[in-house]
Amino acid sequence: MSERYLVPTVADMRALGQALAAQLRPGDLVVLAGPLGAGKTVLTQGIGAGLRVTGAVTSPTFVIARVHQPDRAAGGKIPLVHVDAYRLGGGADPRAEIDDLDLDASVDESVTVVEWGEGVVEQLADAHLLVRIDRPTGGEDTTGQDEPRQVELIGRGGDWTARLADLEMPVGCTRVGASA
């Protein structure tokens, strides 16, 4: 199942992340794809806010992976593992590098979000949500300006079709299409 939405602002991208967080549970893998500046980290910030985790969710580009524990005082229950696979792949097999990170040890108890993970991390879970983010105007955005993004949510395996059907989209987001 695939659903496409137009997400007009940075605030709406964060709100989409929070809406997605309401559908997430321990063991979920979320794979983010899109060009530099598409909004992958902003979406993950929204997921972190929705999961009520501790610490600022920032791009883990140089550390590769960050674990954010749930803020129990704020009602958080699930840890967030935030991974950036952008710098992986310098070797012959980026999947082997992912294996070296030993992420599968935390996948069962956490929500794992992997930026730049398409084609690299799907083996970490039997099912996953692929989120593709594109700028309708094309190219990379490094300005941080509000500019609409097209977000495609693709459930792969498991019960993602049902969960995506139950997703409550933020007010600013507009559905632009779906496919089976």
Per-residue pLDDT tens over the stretch 74-113:
999 999 999 888 766 544 554 555 555 555 545 578 999 9
Structure confidence at residue 105 (pLDDT): 47
Structure confidence at residue 70 (pLDDT): 95
Q: What proportion of the chain, given as a percentage, has pLDDT over 70? A: 80
Top pLDDT among 150 and 65 is at 150
Q: Which of 17-21, 22-26, 107-111, 131-135 has the lowest mean pLDDT?
A: 107-111
Does the predicted model carry a pTM greater than 0.85?
yes
Residue entry with tokens 């696979």: 85
Structure confidence at residue 156 (pLDDT): 94
Banded model confidence at residue 180, pLDDT cuts 50, 70, 90:
low
Full 3-state SS string of the chain = CEEEEEECCHHHHHHHHHHHHCCCCCCCEEEEECCCCCCHHHHHHHHHHHHCECCCCCCCCCCCEEEECECHHHCCCCCEEEEECCCCCCCCCHHHHHHHCCCHHHHCCCEEEEECCCCCCHHHCCCEEEEEEECCCCCCCCCCCCCCEEEEEEEECCCHHHHHHHCCCCCCCEEEEEEC
Q: What proportion of the chain, given as a percentage, has pLDDT over 90? A: 59
Residue 138, pLDDT above cutoff 90: no
Spatial neighbors of 157 by CB under 8 A, at least 6 apart, are 126, 127, 128
Query: Can you list the domains of the chain with their CATH numbers?
Result: 2-179 (3.40.50.300)
Strands lying side by side in the sheet with 174-179: 65-68, 80-84, 111-115, 29-33, 128-134, 149-156, 2-7, 174-179
